[in-house]
Structure 1
Amino acid sequence: MALKTIETAIVGAFILEPTVFGDARGFFSETYNCREFRAATGAELNFVQDNQSRSRRGVLRGLHYQIEQPQGKLVRVTRGAVYDVAVDVRKGSASFGRWVGVELSEQNHRQFWVPPGLAHGFLVLSDETDFLYKTTDYYAPQHERCIVWNDPDIGIQWPLEQHGLDVPLLSDKDAAGLKFSQAEYFP
């Protein structure tokens, strides 16, 4: 199985395109292979938790990270589509403060590797989306932090208008996220 790797503007973050075999019956794809993942990304981390969320059109989740017990996330969509975003909050990184976004969908089968030290979020583009992700550490709510989705200092260009959306649907926690300049950073 070949795993195509696409570098992004953030150090260590990659878009992954697994090989998909399809015919009239449907398709088959190997969604995770430890050897292939490590060879493609250089990440020597173990995944300890799998998560799934279902969200409706216009929901925006994030930008989340854990200041302690940081989580690397391998994310993908099995139904629907999202615009997935990562922001580098590693002060010592060459890409500190940069963001990158990628559309993940059931059609393109893309995955996004978001290494530890990045804030992560996504905007749901389809009527209903199932979002799956593997994490390298356990969820620790006491260490979770949130950067507000529309901070002008970061300047994320969420594709709201292109998808007929005026404003995203946010949780109270996400609406109360901090500005990037007020956030806690990794060294």
Structure 2
Amino acid sequence: MTIKIKKCTFEDLQTLQEISIETFNETFKDQNSPENMKTYLERAFNLKQLEEELSNPFSQFLLLYFNEEVAGYLKVNTGDAQSEKIGDQSLEVERIYIKSKFQKHGLGKYLLSQAIEMAVALHKKEVWLGVWEKNENAIAFYKKMGFVQTGVHSFYMGEEEQSDYIMTKSIL
């Protein structure tokens, strides 16, 4: 079993788009209407949007390879790229996406540890993320990893407003 991380570049945009759509669909399609999923996927993961996100100097994408196959990715934000104004002492984990066939191999934990290492290297005091209130598996995982709920924010799935728990972990 080999795990590799590669910084995502513009040459990886197509791969990034494909894995974004695949993993988001796998995770959320059963709990959301097809119309809302279609609207969200088209808005969030079109190539222009992903290129803008990749161009932001305060965001980083890391592609995860498991036995030479793309298995998932991590997106982190600092500064103005954060989806909430949490502060300059924070690093946001905006996405940890793992293809379903690669889940249960410790890859989410691996990516989360990468994010924490990045936060430490950037002298951040905390790592935070938003997780859908109905994603019980993810909430349990983050709690196990030392995150606690510190707030709530809105997330729009198409036209539907949903609630994400904001979960935070102190690292200093």
Q: TM (normalized to structure 1)?
A: 0.28
Larger-Rg structure: 1
| Higher helix content, 1 or 2 | 2
Name which structure has the greater RCO, CA cutoff 8 Å, separation 6+: 1
| Higher strand content, 1 or 2 | 1
